[in-house]
Structure 1
Protein backbone atom coordinates (compact mmCIF):
# COMPACT_ATOMS: atom_id res chain seq x y z
CA UNK A 1 0.00 0.00 0.00
CA UNK A 2 1.52 3.31 -1.07
CA UNK A 3 1.69 6.40 1.10
CA UNK A 4 -0.79 8.12 -1.20
CA UNK A 5 -3.32 5.31 -0.79
CA UNK A 6 -2.76 5.24 2.95
CA UNK A 7 -3.19 9.03 3.16
CA UNK A 8 -6.40 8.82 1.14
CA UNK A 9 -7.78 6.04 3.36
CA UNK A 10 -6.83 7.98 6.49
CA UNK A 11 -8.48 11.10 5.11
CA UNK A 12 -11.67 9.19 4.28
CA UNK A 13 -11.72 7.58 7.71
CA UNK A 14 -11.26 11.02 9.31
CA UNK A 15 -14.05 12.61 7.28
CA UNK A 16 -16.46 9.68 7.64
CA UNK A 17 -15.95 8.78 11.29
CA UNK A 18 -13.73 10.96 13.46
CA UNK A 19 -14.86 14.42 12.33
CA UNK A 20 -18.58 13.63 12.73
CA UNK A 21 -17.94 12.00 16.11
CA UNK A 22 -16.02 15.06 17.33
CA UNK A 23 -18.72 17.42 16.04
CA UNK A 24 -21.46 15.44 17.80
CA UNK A 25 -19.41 15.24 21.00
CA UNK A 26 -18.90 19.03 20.93
CA UNK A 27 -22.62 19.58 20.35
CA UNK A 28 -23.52 17.24 23.19
CA UNK A 29 -21.00 18.85 25.53
CA UNK A 30 -22.34 22.34 24.77
CA UNK A 31 -25.91 21.15 25.40
CA UNK A 32 -24.92 19.48 28.66
CA UNK A 33 -23.13 22.62 29.83
CA UNK A 34 -26.22 24.76 29.13
CA UNK A 35 -28.52 22.24 30.82
CA UNK A 36 -26.37 21.97 33.95
CA UNK A 37 -26.10 25.77 34.18
CA UNK A 38 -29.89 26.06 33.91
CA UNK A 39 -30.34 23.41 36.61
CA UNK A 40 -27.89 25.13 38.96
CA UNK A 41 -29.61 28.48 38.37
CA UNK A 42 -33.02 26.97 39.10
CA UNK A 43 -31.78 25.12 42.18
CA UNK A 44 -30.28 28.34 43.54
CA UNK A 45 -33.50 30.27 42.96
CA UNK A 46 -35.61 27.58 44.63
CA UNK A 47 -33.28 27.18 47.59
CA UNK A 48 -33.05 30.96 48.05
CA UNK A 49 -36.85 31.18 48.13
CA UNK A 50 -37.08 28.31 50.61
CA UNK A 51 -34.47 29.81 52.90
CA UNK A 52 -36.14 33.20 52.69
CA UNK A 53 -39.45 31.68 53.77
CA UNK A 54 -37.75 29.75 56.56
CA UNK A 55 -36.23 33.01 57.83
CA UNK A 56 -39.58 34.77 57.53
CA UNK A 57 -41.27 32.26 59.83
CA UNK A 58 -38.71 33.15 62.48
CA UNK A 59 -40.03 36.73 62.48
CA UNK A 60 -43.60 35.65 63.32
CA UNK A 61 -44.37 36.89 66.81
CA UNK A 62 -48.14 37.48 66.75
CA UNK A 63 -51.31 36.95 64.69
CA UNK A 64 -50.49 39.91 62.41
CA UNK A 65 -47.05 38.46 61.75
CA UNK A 66 -48.60 35.08 60.95
CA UNK A 67 -51.05 36.71 58.52
CA UNK A 68 -48.21 38.59 56.87
CA UNK A 69 -46.18 35.37 56.65
CA UNK A 70 -49.12 33.51 55.03
CA UNK A 71 -49.49 36.28 52.45
CA UNK A 72 -45.76 36.05 51.75
CA UNK A 73 -46.12 32.30 51.30
CA UNK A 74 -48.83 32.82 48.68
CA UNK A 75 -46.72 35.39 46.85
CA UNK A 76 -43.68 33.11 46.94
CA UNK A 77 -45.72 30.14 45.72
CA UNK A 78 -46.99 32.21 42.78
CA UNK A 79 -43.47 33.41 41.93
CA UNK A 80 -42.07 29.88 42.12
CA UNK A 81 -44.87 28.56 39.92
CA UNK A 82 -44.00 31.20 37.30
CA UNK A 83 -40.32 30.40 37.66
CA UNK A 84 -40.99 26.70 37.20
CA UNK A 85 -43.03 27.40 34.07
CA UNK A 86 -40.21 29.55 32.66
CA UNK A 87 -37.60 26.93 33.55
CA UNK A 88 -39.58 24.18 31.82
CA UNK A 89 -39.96 26.34 28.71
CA UNK A 90 -36.23 27.07 28.74
CA UNK A 91 -35.33 23.36 28.93
CA UNK A 92 -37.84 22.46 26.20
CA UNK A 93 -36.33 25.13 23.94
CA UNK A 94 -32.82 23.83 24.63
CA UNK A 95 -33.94 20.28 23.85
CA UNK A 96 -35.55 21.37 20.58
CA UNK A 97 -32.43 23.28 19.57
CA UNK A 98 -30.26 20.26 20.37
CA UNK A 99 -32.47 17.96 18.29
CA UNK A 100 -32.44 20.39 15.36
CA UNK A 101 -28.67 20.80 15.49
CA UNK A 102 -28.20 17.03 15.79
CA UNK A 103 -30.40 16.44 12.75
CA UNK A 104 -28.54 19.07 10.75
CA UNK A 105 -25.23 17.53 11.76
CA UNK A 106 -26.45 14.07 10.70
CA UNK A 107 -27.69 15.43 7.35
CA UNK A 108 -24.41 17.25 6.71
CA UNK A 109 -22.41 14.14 7.58
CA UNK A 110 -24.57 11.99 5.32
CA UNK A 111 -24.03 14.41 2.43
CA UNK A 112 -20.28 14.48 3.08
CA UNK A 113 -20.12 10.69 3.26
CA UNK A 114 -22.08 10.39 0.04
CA UNK A 115 -19.71 12.79 -1.73
CA UNK A 116 -16.70 10.95 -0.34
CA UNK A 117 -18.05 7.58 -1.42
CA UNK A 118 -18.84 8.89 -4.89
CA UNK A 119 -15.36 10.41 -5.17
CA UNK A 120 -13.69 7.19 -4.00
CA UNK A 121 -15.69 5.12 -6.48
CA UNK A 122 -14.36 7.21 -9.35
Structure 2
Protein backbone atom coordinates (compact mmCIF):
# COMPACT_ATOMS: atom_id res chain seq x y z
CA UNK A 1 0.00 0.00 0.00
CA UNK A 2 1.53 3.25 -1.12
CA UNK A 3 0.74 6.34 0.90
CA UNK A 4 2.68 8.89 -1.16
CA UNK A 5 2.26 12.57 -0.56
CA UNK A 6 1.48 14.08 -3.98
CA UNK A 7 2.53 17.74 -3.77
CA UNK A 8 1.72 18.41 -7.42
CA UNK A 9 -1.87 17.35 -6.92
CA UNK A 10 -2.21 19.47 -3.76
CA UNK A 11 -0.64 22.44 -5.54
CA UNK A 12 -3.09 22.04 -8.41
CA UNK A 13 -6.01 21.85 -5.99
CA UNK A 14 -4.91 25.02 -4.19
CA UNK A 15 -4.47 26.75 -7.54
CA UNK A 16 -7.91 25.68 -8.72
CA UNK A 17 -9.78 26.32 -5.49
CA UNK A 18 -8.00 29.31 -3.94
CA UNK A 19 -5.18 31.06 -5.77
CA UNK A 20 -6.71 31.15 -9.25
CA UNK A 21 -10.05 32.59 -8.10
CA UNK A 22 -8.28 35.01 -5.73
CA UNK A 23 -6.11 36.31 -8.59
CA UNK A 24 -9.13 36.65 -10.88
CA UNK A 25 -11.04 38.59 -8.22
CA UNK A 26 -8.02 40.78 -7.48
CA UNK A 27 -7.68 41.58 -11.19
CA UNK A 28 -11.38 42.43 -11.39
CA UNK A 29 -11.06 44.68 -8.32
CA UNK A 30 -8.00 46.49 -9.67
CA UNK A 31 -9.68 47.06 -13.04
CA UNK A 32 -12.81 48.39 -11.33
CA UNK A 33 -10.72 50.68 -9.11
CA UNK A 34 -8.82 52.01 -12.11
CA UNK A 35 -12.03 52.78 -14.01
CA UNK A 36 -13.59 54.42 -10.95
CA UNK A 37 -10.52 56.56 -10.25
CA UNK A 38 -10.37 57.64 -13.91
CA UNK A 39 -14.05 58.61 -13.83
CA UNK A 40 -13.49 60.59 -10.62
CA UNK A 41 -10.46 62.35 -12.06
CA UNK A 42 -12.40 63.32 -15.19
CA UNK A 43 -15.24 64.66 -13.06
CA UNK A 44 -12.93 66.67 -10.80
CA UNK A 45 -11.18 68.16 -13.83
CA UNK A 46 -14.49 69.12 -15.43
CA UNK A 47 -15.84 70.67 -12.22
CA UNK A 48 -12.57 72.53 -11.62
CA UNK A 49 -12.54 73.88 -15.19
CA UNK A 50 -16.13 75.09 -14.86
CA UNK A 51 -15.43 76.72 -11.50
CA UNK A 52 -12.32 78.48 -12.74
CA UNK A 53 -14.12 79.69 -15.85
CA UNK A 54 -16.91 81.11 -13.71
CA UNK A 55 -14.42 82.83 -11.41
CA UNK A 56 -12.71 84.40 -14.42
CA UNK A 57 -16.06 85.55 -15.77
CA UNK A 58 -16.91 87.06 -12.38
CA UNK A 59 -13.62 88.95 -12.34
CA UNK A 60 -14.56 90.53 -15.69
CA UNK A 61 -17.73 92.09 -14.23
CA UNK A 62 -17.36 95.87 -14.14
CA UNK A 63 -20.90 97.18 -13.85
CA UNK A 64 -24.52 96.26 -13.06
CA UNK A 65 -25.21 95.14 -16.62
CA UNK A 66 -22.17 92.85 -16.58
CA UNK A 67 -23.28 91.42 -13.23
CA UNK A 68 -26.79 90.78 -14.60
CA UNK A 69 -25.32 88.95 -17.61
CA UNK A 70 -23.04 86.96 -15.32
CA UNK A 71 -25.99 85.91 -13.15
CA UNK A 72 -28.05 84.92 -16.19
CA UNK A 73 -25.14 82.79 -17.34
CA UNK A 74 -25.08 81.11 -13.94
CA UNK A 75 -28.47 79.56 -14.66
CA UNK A 76 -27.06 77.78 -17.70
CA UNK A 77 -23.96 76.76 -15.74
CA UNK A 78 -26.16 75.31 -13.01
CA UNK A 79 -28.17 73.40 -15.61
CA UNK A 80 -25.00 72.09 -17.26
CA UNK A 81 -23.55 71.08 -13.87
CA UNK A 82 -26.73 69.22 -12.98
CA UNK A 83 -26.57 67.29 -16.25
CA UNK A 84 -22.88 66.56 -15.69
CA UNK A 85 -23.54 65.32 -12.13
CA UNK A 86 -26.35 63.11 -13.39
CA UNK A 87 -24.12 61.65 -16.11
CA UNK A 88 -21.26 61.06 -13.67
CA UNK A 89 -23.58 59.34 -11.20
CA UNK A 90 -24.93 57.10 -13.96
CA UNK A 91 -21.37 56.25 -15.00
CA UNK A 92 -20.43 55.21 -11.46
CA UNK A 93 -23.61 53.14 -11.08
CA UNK A 94 -22.87 51.37 -14.39
CA UNK A 95 -19.32 50.63 -13.20
CA UNK A 96 -20.65 49.22 -9.93
CA UNK A 97 -23.26 47.07 -11.68
CA UNK A 98 -20.62 45.72 -14.04
CA UNK A 99 -18.34 44.91 -11.10
CA UNK A 100 -21.13 43.08 -9.25
CA UNK A 101 -22.13 41.14 -12.38
CA UNK A 102 -18.52 40.07 -13.03
CA UNK A 103 -18.00 39.19 -9.36
CA UNK A 104 -21.06 36.94 -9.45
CA UNK A 105 -19.82 35.33 -12.65
CA UNK A 106 -16.42 34.61 -11.07
CA UNK A 107 -18.11 33.13 -8.01
CA UNK A 108 -20.32 30.87 -10.14
CA UNK A 109 -17.31 29.69 -12.15
CA UNK A 110 -15.38 28.98 -8.94
CA UNK A 111 -18.28 26.97 -7.50
CA UNK A 112 -18.49 24.91 -10.71
CA UNK A 113 -14.74 24.25 -10.67
CA UNK A 114 -14.87 23.26 -7.01
CA UNK A 115 -17.75 20.88 -7.67
CA UNK A 116 -15.90 19.31 -10.61
CA UNK A 117 -12.76 18.91 -8.50
CA UNK A 118 -14.75 17.33 -5.66
CA UNK A 119 -16.50 14.94 -8.05
CA UNK A 120 -13.17 14.00 -9.62
CA UNK A 121 -11.62 13.41 -6.20
CA UNK A 122 -14.60 11.30 -5.11
CA UNK A 123 -14.40 9.23 -8.31
CA UNK A 124 -10.67 8.79 -7.83
CA UNK A 125 -11.21 7.67 -4.22
CA UNK A 126 -13.91 5.22 -5.31
CA UNK A 127 -11.65 3.82 -8.04
CA UNK A 128 -8.76 3.49 -5.58
CA UNK A 129 -10.97 1.75 -3.03
CA UNK A 130 -12.24 -0.65 -5.71
CA UNK A 131 -8.72 -1.45 -6.83
CA UNK A 132 -7.56 -1.99 -3.25
CA UNK A 133 -10.51 -4.28 -2.52
CA UNK A 134 -9.78 -6.40 -5.61
CA UNK A 135 -6.13 -6.89 -4.67
CA UNK A 136 -6.90 -7.78 -1.07
SS at structure 2 position matched to 1:60:
coil
Alignment deviations for residues 27-74 of structure 1 (CA, whole Å, 9 cap, x no partner): 000000000000000001001111111111100001111111101111
- Mapping of residues 1-122 of structure 1, within 5 Å: 2=4, 5-122=6-123
1:2: Cα distance to partner?
A: 3.8
Specify every segment of 5 or more residues in structure 2 that has no aligned partner in the other structure, as ranges.
124-136
Structure 1 distance, partners of 2:19, 2:69, is: 62
TM-score relative to the length of structure 1: 0.96
* 1:6 shift after superposition: 1.3
Structure 1 gaps, min length 5: none
Question: Runs of 4+ in structure 1 displaced over 4 angstroms?
Answer: none
- Matched residues in 2 for 1:90 and 1:47: separation? 19
Separation in 1 of the partners of 2:30 and 2:87?
23
TM-score, length-scaled by structure 2 = 0.86
- Bigger-Rg structure (1/2): 2
RMSD between superposed Cα atoms in Å: 1.1
